[in-house]
Structures are given as C-alpha cells and as structure tokens.
Structure 1
Amino acid sequence: MEVTIISRAAWSMYHRSQERTLWRFPVRLETYVNGVLSQCVDLHQNGAGIITTEKALAVNPNIYVKIACRDLSGNVVWAGGQLRVRSKKPIEGTQESVRVGGRITWDSDEAKTAVIMQCYVVEQYVARQHFWLRHEKRRVVLLPAHIDGIDAECVDVSTSGASFVARAADWGKRQIGIRIPISVDDRFIGTAEIRNVTATSGEMMRIGAAVMWQNPYMLKIFSDSEKRDLKTRKAIAGGINP
C-alpha cells in the first residue's frame, strides 16, 4: 500500500516537473472559462495560467476554456480545450478573482497548432517589435497609402512600423489598438496595429502604427534602392558619370 502511494506521488512530481520544463510565455489574451470572460496570462502548448472567477469555475466541474490566439495576419484563431486545474490562488485585493493553472487537452491538432504559433512565432514577433519599434530608424517618405480602405499618405516607414496622415472625416471613430490592413505605394502590404492618433493642422490626423509586413525584406530593397539613387544623384552633381 505504502509503495503504491509513494510511486504515485513520485510519478505525479516527475510529471509536473516535466511540464514545468516547457517555457510559459507571458501573454495577455482574451479567454473564456466555461463561457465567462477571463484572461490568459501565461501559455504553452500543454497548458496555461488564467485569471478568472470562482463563479466561472463553478459553472461546470469539467472546465472548458477558449483562448483567442492570433495568426501572422492578426486574425483571431480560437483554441479550445479541457482544463485540468493543478493550482488555484486568490488574487489579492479581490473577492472573486482567482488565478488557475493547469494542463489543457486541446480539442484538435488545429487548436494546438494555433497555440504553438501564438507562443513561438507571434509572441516572439511582438517582443521583438516592442523592443525595436522605438530603437530602429524610421525612413521619412511621402508615399500614397491605403489604410483600412481609406486614402492616406505614408510619411515614415521602418521594418516594424509606419506613420500615416489621413483626413479626420475618413478616419472616423476607429480606435487605438485595432488591427487593420494597409498598403504603401501598392508595393508594401501588411497588417497595422494602431498605436496612436493625433490631430494635426486643418482636418488631418497623424496615425502611428506597429506593422507586420507581409515581406519586410521588400523594405530593405526599397531602402537600398533609395541609397543607390542618392549616390547616383551626388555623382551626377559632382560631374562624375556613374
């Protein structure tokens, strides 16, 4: 009897240790626990940490979760599965909120793939973007653009961001944080997450965005081409035939 208990305890500890070897990615993802709005705060392909409520957990002992992952185009892909709770801790300063952690058995291979994509591709891109967005040099341009179907001018661009100027009336009531399709000069296409909107002179708005370009290497080609053109213009001005 004692051997059986010890064996089960050892297996449980070993299994939990194996799960913990998977890196949990800190995230902020819309989540539903038994149909109640919650928030996923860490995620890996076999489980998650979720902030929810005691009421949500009490709805059904078989806890079902849906997590809003995203693909590289910024589209939401819902990943659902059964959560087996391994830990539960109250959130200080609240009466109802708890943080639960555990293993998730995903509904399908597609759901698990969406989670893996979120963890190992999207989150890595977001982390890189947050770091580089304010560190990389933006190139000043003046190019025709379309943002969410409206005409605009792109006034600066980089491999992970861009700024636009558009008519306030055309921009309407779009909010900061939305993801919208954009194209610049009919060559550079991507998905923009709006970071700031500022009124300028007249009836215009300046719109800053983090951008996930479909092919960021095109921007490098554009930059290199611009440098060659500048070098050629300088050579001609100096009386040298390039």
Structure 2
Amino acid sequence: MWSMEVFQGDIKLAEKFVEVKEYELPLFEVELDAPSHVSFNQEAFLVTVRAHYTFGKPISGNCLLKIISKGERPTIEREFPLIDGKKELSLQLSEFGKKIQRIQINATIQDTVTLTQRTVSKTVSILAKRYLIDTPPMAHECDGPSDTFTYRARITHLNATPVDVDEEIYVKLDVDVNEEPSKIVSYADENGDIEAEITCSNYTNVNITIEYNGETSLGEIRLSQRSNGSQGGVYVRTQK
C-alpha cells in the first residue's frame, strides 16, 4: 500500500492511498473474427470464436453468443460448446432484416475448468453495398479490326481505400448476342485500378461487366470504325 500526500507549505491538502498488486496475465484469451461490413447481396456471413489458455492450449468450455441489433429486432442468443477451443457460426442476413444498420456481436466464453469467463465484442455494419465500382466514360475510334484499346475501371471500399491487390476481379465482355460472353480474371493495382485490353474487331458495341465479391458494375461501350468512315458518336454508357 502506498500513500500520496499533497501539501501547500505545512498544510496537508489531500491524501490518497494506492494499492499496488503484481500484474496477473488473464487465464485465457478470446478472439472473435467477423467482417466489419456485409452487404445485402450476401445471404450469410461467418463468425468464428477462438479461445485458448495463455500458454497456447485450447480451452474446454462453452460460448454464449449474443447478437444485438440496433434496429427493432430482438437480441439473438446462441449457446454452444467449443471444439478444440473453436466454433464457427454462419449468420443469415434474413435474421436481421434487409435494413442498413449496425449489429453488435458479444461472445462470452466460460472455461469449465477454472469456472472463469471472458467477453469480447465486435460491431458489424450491414450496408446496401460494400464497394464503389467506377466504370468511367471513354471514347475510342478503331483504326481497324486488329486495333486494341485499354478500358480502365476502379474499385474502392466505401471509405475510398483501395481493395486488396491479391483478390480476383472478373471482367466479362459481351460483344454479340449469338456468342457466349468471354470472362477473364484480373487484379487491381495498389490504387484499385483495373485494366482490360479489348480488340476492336468489327464490333460496334461491347457490354462490359466488372464483378468483385458479389457486386457488379455494368458498362456499354460503343465503338466507331475509322475504315467505315464513321464521323464520331462514340460513347460509354455506364450503369451501377
């Protein structure tokens, strides 16, 4: 026990006692993994709970999961045993209603050996969409069927930060109603930019679809062929 005293001259103004104890590590640690954002086009999202003693061994215990909706829906409670200190649970978005909101997930782990418990929390935002897929307008006049041009798009998170450069992005080109659309895999650079090389051939219309993690952006590219004496009218119409 320590005491602290405050004096002004010879007059004691205040006194405080402080008890100092040796720091004790928690008996076990809990990790709660869940996405920070999910969107309406997802049917479900995964929640994973892990618990282990401070020396690394998984605990033997139970988990009480509480999902608190910020809307009018009642709190959802699920209780289950941990297997090797772990439990994965798929939560259906239909349980929360198709509504923009934030939900709080609380995971309380009770160790059946020491009879101690710990609680961790995480907030998940349910949004209409998670990404901004920009298919900007462009103009190109083809020099001939073999001429190529580059179509550029950009994908960012809603907070304008770039997406992961290692995640696959699908670029689908539809040039003729009688042909199957071609689909290629691309990747964004560190700024979230995607490039697709397109050959003019004799096309006058190219429909392009950018797909990323279940969200899409559609674009219609109109081409003019210089060899056909076209005087212009080239435009890109985009739709999100």
The TM-score bracket by the shorter chain reads under 0.3
Higher gyration radius (CA): 2
Structure with the higher fraction of residues in strand conformation: 2
TM-score, normalised on structure 2? 0.26
Structure with the higher fraction of residues in helix conformation: 1
Which one has more relative contact order, counting CA pairs under 8 Å at least 6 apart? 2
